[in-house]
């Protein structure tokens, strides 16, 4: 993210987003009084529960549907006043749905991003070739340029689609659920690429995601769509430290875990389930993870139950004299204590 405070590349001003019905029927407002600003060099994560209005907001921001009120500004100009070619030169959109391009090569697909700059005869210029080469390199797919898109993995195809968008040389790059169909390793790679692009390409990168951990760890800004028609924007730390994330996502048997930066399931098994964990480093971290999974609450304070663990693969553990090997056996033991021990036995 840049250290300056430049003019927003994309801005929502008093925006109301929703749907217009047939004549004589009132419009359906999903989001109201939305104020947002995406600046060059920022990576912005759009998050929120299903049905809260993320897709509606995204479609309105990119001009796929008109706002019910307010304005969307692209480089300071009202989006509705720009021609499709003008929009495409400054705003690039990558959707989740796969694109059928037949047997086109990766390079040919990426070159489609230059269409807003070409004349009606479609003649390629040196600047177009340079933009395609740069986009292939920035998206990490230069070595795939001659391969058909259909031969690539999901992760590689997603990178190619980003390269096509980058070839447009946009001020704003918008991605709708770009990691939805990627495995864990490809998601991590893709997240690292987006972070690098936001820092080096100078574009504002806006992506919608269900990955709360990614949004809080990687994004410069988070746009949090609540279930009450509002959108809260801010630094991820501000939204996590305050009650915005907790208020939006937590519910029965769920809570926000500050250490994990995500929502976790809590298991309220009643009193007498606190255990003091004697370990350090990663061993302590995963021991506490196992303890919580078993429905107990780890603590560093003195209490009636003490869990000590020795390093090893698998680890060896001791709970008040009961011994075992491995975390699976530990969880089974703790769950058995919770389910079968009477209250006086569990409290000493």
User: What values do phi and psi take at 207, rounded to 5?
Assistant: -135, 140
Rounded mean pLDDT, 17-33: 85
What is the reported pLDDT for 1?
Answer: 47
Q: Please provide the DSSP assignment of 178-200 as one string.
A: TTTT--HHHHHHHHHHHHHHHHH
pLDDT at residue 47 greater than cutoff 80? yes
Rounded mean pLDDT, 74-82: 94
pLDDT at residue 266 greater than cutoff 90? no
- Among the four given CATH numbers 3.40.50.300, 3.40.50.150, 3.50.50.60, 3.20.20.70, the one describing domain 10-252: 3.40.50.300
User: How far, in Å, CA of 20 to CA of 52, rounded?
Assistant: 18
Most confident residue range from 35-44, 185-194, 288-297: 35-44
Structure tokens at 342: 């009477």
Share of the chain above pLDDT 70, in %: 89
Rounded mean pLDDT, 119-136: 82
> Of 61, 85, 86, which is closest to residue 72 (Cα–Cα)?
61
What is the reported pLDDT for 255?
Answer: 75
User: How far, in Å, CA of 286 to CA of 302, rounded?
Assistant: 20
pLDDT at residue 333 greater than cutoff 90? yes
> Of 80, 27, 79, 33, which is closest to residue 226 (Cα–Cα)?
33
As annotated, the residues of the chain forming the CATH 3.40.50.300 domain(s) are 10-252
Rounded mean pLDDT, 178-202: 82
> Of 59, 49, 131, which is closest to residue 95 (Cα–Cα)?
59
The whole-chain average pLDDT of the chain stands at 86
pLDDT at residue 181 greater than cutoff 90? no
Q: 242-263: per-residue pLDDT in tens?
A: 888 888 887 766 777 777 777 7
Rounded mean pLDDT, 269-292: 83
> Of 43, 170, 179, 159, which is closest to residue 110 (Cα–Cα)?
159
């Amino acid at each position: 993210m840049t250290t300056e405070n430049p003019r927003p590349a994309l801005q929502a001003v008093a925006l109301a987003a929703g749907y217009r019905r047939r004549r004589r029927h009132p419009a359906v407002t999903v989001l109201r009084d939305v104020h947002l600003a995406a600046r060059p060099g920022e990576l912005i994560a759009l998050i929120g529960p299903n049905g809260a209005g993320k897709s509606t907001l995204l479609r309105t921001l990119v001009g796929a549907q008109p706002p019910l009120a307010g304005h969307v500004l692209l480089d300071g100009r009202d989006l509705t006043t720009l021609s499709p070619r003008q929009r495409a030169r400054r705003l690039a959109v990558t959707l989740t749905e796969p694109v059928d391009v037949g047997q086109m090569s990766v390079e040919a697909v990426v070159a489609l991003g230059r269409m807003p700059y070409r004349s009606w005869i479609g003649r390629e210029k040196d600047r177009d070739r340079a933009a395609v080469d740069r986009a292939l390199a920035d998206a990490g797919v230069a070595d795939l340029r001659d391969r058909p898109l259909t031969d690539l993995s999901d992760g590689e195809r997603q990178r190619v689609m980003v390269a096509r968008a980058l070839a447009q040389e946009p001020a704003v790059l918008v991605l709708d659920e770009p990691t939805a169909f990627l495995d864990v390793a490809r998601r991590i790679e893709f997240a690292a690429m987006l972070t690098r692009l936001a820092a080096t390409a100078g574009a504002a990168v806006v992506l919608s995601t269900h990955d709360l951990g990614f949004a809080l760890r990687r994004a410069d800004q988070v746009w949090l769509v609540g279930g009450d028609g509002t959108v809260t924007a801010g630094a991820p730390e501000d939204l996590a430290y305050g009650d915005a994330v907790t208020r939006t996502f937590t519910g029965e048997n769920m809570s926000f875990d500050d250490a994990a930066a995500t929502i976790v399931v809590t298991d309220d098994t009643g009193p007498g389930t606190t255990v003091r964990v004697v370990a350090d480093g990663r061993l302590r971290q995963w021991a506490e993870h196992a303890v919580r999974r078993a429905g107990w609450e780890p603590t560093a304070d003195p209490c009636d139950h003490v869990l000590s663990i020795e390093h090893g693969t698998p680890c060896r553990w001791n709970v008040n004299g009961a011994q075992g090997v491995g975390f699976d056996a530990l969880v089974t033991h703790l769950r058995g204590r919770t389910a079968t021990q009477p209250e006086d036995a569990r409290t000493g």
